[in-house]
Structure 1
Amino acid sequence: MTDKAWKMLGFCLACGSAVVLGTADVQAAKPEPSFTSGNSIAGFGTAMDKHLESVEETESQAVSAGLTQEKVVFGTFRDIFKNLGVAMVEDSLNIRKEPKNDADIVGKMDSHAGCSVLGMEHGWYKIKSGQVTGYVSGKYLAVGQAARASAYYDMKLMLRVNTDTLRVRSAPDTDSEILGRIHEGETYDFLSRAGDGWIKIRYGEKDGYAYVPGNAVVAYTIPEAEKVENSLRQQVVNYAVRFVGNPYRWGGTNPNTGADCSGFVQYVMEHAAGIHLDRTSREQSAEGLAVSSTAMQPGDLLFYASGSTIDHVAMYIGGGKIVHAANRRSGIKISTWNYRKPVTIRRVIP
């Protein structure tokens, strides 16, 4: 069977897991699953392991032609993740400090990113992924055979850093410009070998070079979590989303008991950031600085209009989503930022 055929088989099995739109962290409403692999599916696990071993052997020979085993450790996702879990969402999966929906967000796993499952509490998995340790809802994490099938399908050759700091340079020599630094647990797309212990990787929007003897693993693996810094913006977003599910009330200014759109953002900014806003969405739309949709950051405010009159405001929370007091029927909810075309986007957090 060809490599593509094997990966397609893995994908088909992975598709048995739920895929949820948007940023997900709602607690699972189903029995707590086990994070053990269980029995093989008609020998699937054994067959896929044998296939991966053959891939490793073939590719390690090719890689070692320029990067010897003395210079670079070659491995697979099986060496990196213990009790593999894979994020089965379309956008990203929140990693929270505690196993509850209103806990602080400490990291995010992109769709099909991997983690090691450490345990389980009340439908939440405790996981470690890259530099992040925390909790994710069991509803959105594939484990066991489903996780392995997804990883087999999505794995690609990547650099995984296993030292505190590793410099990335513009060329494969120590006199070239330093583009940045990468840290333990981070993974980057491996592009090619560059000789004498250097490899070429994709670093942000640029190609960069890292000198890797003893500092990294080149492995067939999948991406890991990104750490979320606990900035003021993130604190404001974390505070705002705590009110999701609470009622809308026209004229209301307290989202604990009911608020309208402008009352909601006024309350959140005042209590989470100490920023005072005017009362109505029309007045608020003149505050702060205007930014484009491509430059939006969490905590920025989006204003919508009916005709020529601004009549609604929402807060951007990242990942293409907003939180807002929508209407009496929906209450405070999360939506896609462009469900209506915003008239203006304002930045009130410095």
Structure 2
Amino acid sequence: MTGGRSLLEVVGTGICGERVVAVARGFIGTPYRHQGSLKGVGCDCLGLIRGVWRELYGVEPEVPAPYAPDWAERAGEERLLEAAGRHCGAALPLAALRPGDLLVFRWQDEAAAKHAGIATPEGRFIHAYEQAAVIESPLVPSWRRRIAGVFRFPELS
């Protein structure tokens, strides 16, 4: 939040997807670290999005409260989807997906969404994967069917 308004209200609507992808690709190889958000040091999936946001806009979108690995199962709230909506605007239809969009995933139909990544060209996406690091993976059907929301980063003024 910026002075009581979301960054979305301050900067506009939409950003060059190629720039988002380039920034996200700079995080590839960053080790997985729960609650981390630093390129080359460590990040989780939320930290990847926060780090990309900081590099694009120069500010933190919002600082999350500390969270346990099972935060979504315990809270039962759509915190990740709500935060994406606060900063990127309304979710887009999956058919509108383009490189540079923020993807939010739900592991199970009845569970809260708890994973995030950034769409890249040729049907791929970048995400922080606990067993690997920040990687670029194919957006295969098993990932695609778990998408709970597609969001576009706001345009820089």
Q: TM-score range by the shorter chain?
A: 0.5 to 0.7
Q: Per-residue deviation at 1:304?
A: 0.8
CA spacing shift, 1:256–1:275, aligned 2, 3 Å: same
Q: Per-residue deviation at 1:285?
A: 3.2
Residues 1:265 and 2:49 aligned together: yes
| Matched pairs, number | 119
* Paired residues of 1:236 and 1:273 also in contact (CA < 8 A): no
Q: What residue number does 1:330 align with? A: 132
* Paired residues of 1:299 and 1:349 also in contact (CA < 8 A): no
CA spacing shift, 1:290–1:342, aligned 2, 3 Å: same
Structure 2 residue identity aligned to 1:306: W
Structure 1 residue identity aligned to 2:120: I
Q: Show the 5 A alignment for 1:14-93.
A: none
Rounded to whole Å, the distance in 2 between the matches of 1:293 and 1:275 is 28
Q: Per-residue deviation at 1:270?
A: 1.5
Q: Per-residue deviation at 1:275?
A: 6.4
Compare relative contact order (CA 8 Å, sep 6+) and give the higher one, 1 or 2. 2
TM-score (norm 2): 0.66
* Paired residues of 1:244 and 1:333 also in contact (CA < 8 A): yes
Quote the RMSD (CA, aligned, Å): 2.2
Q: Show the 5 A alignment for 1:143-158.
A: none
* Paired residues of 2:27 and 2:48 also in contact (CA < 8 A): no
TM-score (norm 1): 0.31
Uncovered stretches (5+) of structure 1, i.e. residues with no partner:
1-230
Structure with more strand by fraction: 1
CA spacing shift, 1:262–1:279, aligned 2, 3 Å: farther
* 3-state DSSP of counterpart to 1:343: strand
Quick one: which of 291, 295, 320 aligns to 2:96? 295
* 3-state DSSP of counterpart to 2:29: coil
* Paired residues of 1:232 and 1:273 also in contact (CA < 8 A): no
* Paired residues of 2:119 and 2:125 also in contact (CA < 8 A): yes
CA spacing shift, 1:276–1:233, aligned 2, 3 Å: farther
Rounded to whole Å, the distance in 2 between the matches of 1:330 and 1:320 is 20
- The CA deviation string for residues 274-299 of structure 1, in whole angstroms up to 9 with x for no partner, is 46434566143333221122211222
Quick one: which of 26, 30, 34 aligns to 1:246? 30
Structure 2 residue identity aligned to 1:342: I
* Paired residues of 1:300 and 1:348 also in contact (CA < 8 A): yes
* 3-state DSSP of counterpart to 1:244: coil
- The CA deviation string for residues 214-235 of structure 1, in whole angstroms up to 9 with x for no partner, is xxxxxxxxxxxxxxxxx73212
* 3-state DSSP of counterpart to 1:310: coil
Structure 2 residue identity aligned to 1:234: E
Larger radius of gyration: 1
Q: Per-residue deviation at 1:321?
A: 0.8
Q: What residue number does 2:84 align with? A: 285
- The CA deviation string for residues 127-180 of structure 1, in whole angstroms up to 9 with x for no partner, is xxxxxxxxxxxxxxxxxxxxxxxxxxxxxxxxxxxxxxxxxxxxxxxxxxxxxx
Q: What residue number does 2:151 align with? A: 346
CA spacing shift, 1:293–1:274, aligned 2, 3 Å: farther
